[in-house]
Structure 1
């Protein structure tokens, strides 16, 4: 598979870690730093060492894993470590991890000394098909996801399916939600094709197609003024439910699990308010519920979920914005709905659990 060309950088597949070696050999960075979490230090960094045994002039900055640590306090820790290790403006930060690491590492690099170069090596399925491409960096502020960040492009992205062997089935299924989303918003044939693949061993071709879809969107609309908003399908409600779960559940939803719920609710809203046919709605619900776990959130939680939604960065003048399907494979954006309409989708979702 040929590299995909994005906004000023390449996304490498196949022998991507060999391409990383060539990238570093042809660069002239004064210092190299790896940002990892406890998991990627143990399971993924050794794979880098296998492919780049001669790489020895680097330092490791390690943070705790988890969305709850994607905040300004941890970012300050990354900046401080860069200072302590003597990073200058000709340094390179290599973000080795899932979406938390690539989001926060990109933000830390884009702001340290007004910006140093960084590359992304996404190690989860979710980050490979989503967070690794598009130049969005960010951290959470309190309970509000990704509200602080920049649009800054990496120097390169290196995607290797070898890292996926380190993941649990639950993590792989969670990441698959973004693949489903890409089919629903942009490619009907792809949506039906992915129903026949092994989710716990996804082929590189499926990852490649998802990156192609996202890359087309983000290169067409790099700053989310129009088409890029379609990537938010499932996320307006999904992010709010994810935040609620993180704050209230002992075993909180993973990102993709919350987005799957959000896609069901927003498919219902698409049917009610954007012309999505009833048969398409039934098909989407059938497939998503066959792959992802159900999650019951009680009416008593609706007000909390709505409050999280009201802080979503996609909103304008207090109106809650959605990207909604017109049909499978086609998505519209800038659709604003009232609270009563949104709560109707919550009730619809919960009604499915009793069928």
Structure 2
């Protein structure tokens, strides 16, 4: 463990203390708007601007409103914002800030974001700007939000077609993870989060990978509701693994980050599809590409490579897509990745399930290697589906 980071764990809470910088808690709770006083305990008697997505408004508005009526009386205001990549803009951030100003938020007030990863990124950035930083609470309601956006300290918005180009590092006072929200999550969005969990399993946690391998059908079909204990254990392990990798490097001074696995080719896949391919789905596709590159370089065995590819395909991800796997453009897209990573490629590739390494330089791979990997994935996917339908 990094000497500047302390992580304390109980069965329901992970507390993070970064020396001289910040601290925040991650709570694992159930039915937080029905039987829990956790939000009230965190926010105390301060004013709250509650920002929710349109989906949360549809399914949970009355439940949320009743909770705040009973616990905050006239000290809260709920606003609804659209949450697409196209709305992840400065204009949306300023709408939140305007609502906060009109409601009279002071320096002790909080913003509370209730929604998926896009909403949490937007609210976090608005909190960074408002009155030179306002406290904020994150309540992720999607699986990718719980595992990814709800764990670190990054906030951000898109700018001129570039994802998360403007942003900040600003931790919340807390994150509350409640799997009850997942029961209304569409399957594709659930799969987005499952890809982020698989990412952690592949790079550092064989046990986590095996749990998904053994239980993915039930987890997907029941959206984590059939076996709450197993679901909590999986989320807890994924969050704990994520924090273990982030500790001591929350501000990304070191640009060699294992958590960037699945995030080298995925930005191109998302942007080239005009975001019709969601982030987590693109991450799963990137995992396949990176794994195939590792295999072609004799860095991972065929057994482990096949387990990864087969699980991705069995779950329902594509490991090849003719519309976006354009190797010349994909190769060119690495220019931006290298610029973002301090002039290094730092491509994370698995060496076995539970372990990974870096291909640090662009010269460690080639456009021919990428093309071969893409063609190999095309053939693998075709064979797998032929066998499935045989």
Q: With structure 1 as the length reference, what TM-score do the two structures score?
A: 0.89
Determine the structure 2 residue equivalent to 1:347: 375
Whether the 8 Å contact between 2:304 and 2:352 is mirrored in structure 1 is: yes
Determine the structure 1 residue equivalent to 2:62: 46
1:23-63 CA-partner distances (Å, limit 9, x unpaired): 223xx53x210111211122234333454533332112321
Determine the structure 1 residue equivalent to 2:79: 61
Determine the structure 2 residue equivalent to 1:4: 14
- Spell out the pairing of 1:175-186 with structure 2 (5 A cutoff): 175-186=193-204
TM-fit CA distance, 1:280: 1.0
Whether the 8 Å contact between 2:327 and 2:370 is mirrored in structure 1 is: no
Determine the structure 2 residue equivalent to 1:187: 205
Equivalent of residue 199 in structure 1, options 180, 202, 219: 219
- Spell out the pairing of 1:24-173 with structure 2 (5 A cutoff): 24-25=43-44, 28-29=45-46, 31-52=47-68, 53-56=70-73, 57-173=75-191
Which segments of 5 or more consecutive residues in structure 1 lack a partner in the other structure?
A: none
Q: 1: CA distance between counterparts of 2:251 and 2:122?
A: 18
1:111-161 CA-partner distances (Å, limit 9, x unpaired): 222211101000001101111011111111232222221111100111111
Q: 1: CA distance between counterparts of 2:163 and 2:324?
A: 23
Aligned positions, number: 347
Whether the 8 Å contact between 1:49 and 1:55 is mirrored in structure 2 is: no
Q: 2: CA distance between counterparts of 1:115 and 1:231?
A: 27
Determine the structure 2 residue equivalent to 1:322: 347
Whether the 8 Å contact between 1:274 and 1:324 is mirrored in structure 2 is: no
Q: With structure 2 as the length reference, what TM-score do the two structures score?
A: 0.82
C-alpha spacing 1:12/1:45, structure 2 compared with 1 (3 Å): farther
Determine the structure 1 residue equivalent to 2:336: 311
Q: 2: CA distance between counterparts of 1:74 and 1:306?
A: 33
Determine the structure 1 residue equivalent to 2:29: 14
Whether the 8 Å contact between 2:29 and 2:176 is mirrored in structure 1 is: no
1:295-322 CA-partner distances (Å, limit 9, x unpaired): 52348844444454432364333x5331
Whether the 8 Å contact between 1:35 and 1:94 is mirrored in structure 2 is: yes
Whether the 8 Å contact between 1:121 and 1:157 is mirrored in structure 2 is: yes
Q: 1: CA distance between counterparts of 2:297 and 2:161?
A: 29
* Secondary structure, counterpart of 1:324 in structure 2: strand
C-alpha spacing 1:336/1:22, structure 2 compared with 1 (3 Å): same
* Secondary structure, counterpart of 2:165 in structure 1: strand
Equivalent of residue 236 in structure 1, options 223, 242, 264: 264
Which runs of at least 4 in structure 1 moved beyond 6 Å after TM superposition?
none
Determine the structure 2 residue equivalent to 1:336: 361
TM-fit CA distance, 1:229: 1.1
Determine the structure 1 residue equivalent to 2:5: none
CA RMSD of aligned residues (A): 2.3
C-alpha spacing 1:82/1:140, structure 2 compared with 1 (3 Å): same
Equivalent of residue 256 in structure 1, options 273, 276, 280: 280
Q: 2: CA distance between counterparts of 1:164 and 1:60?
A: 21
Whether the 8 Å contact between 2:256 and 2:346 is mirrored in structure 1 is: no
* Secondary structure, counterpart of 2:310 in structure 1: helix
Whether the 8 Å contact between 2:272 and 2:324 is mirrored in structure 1 is: no
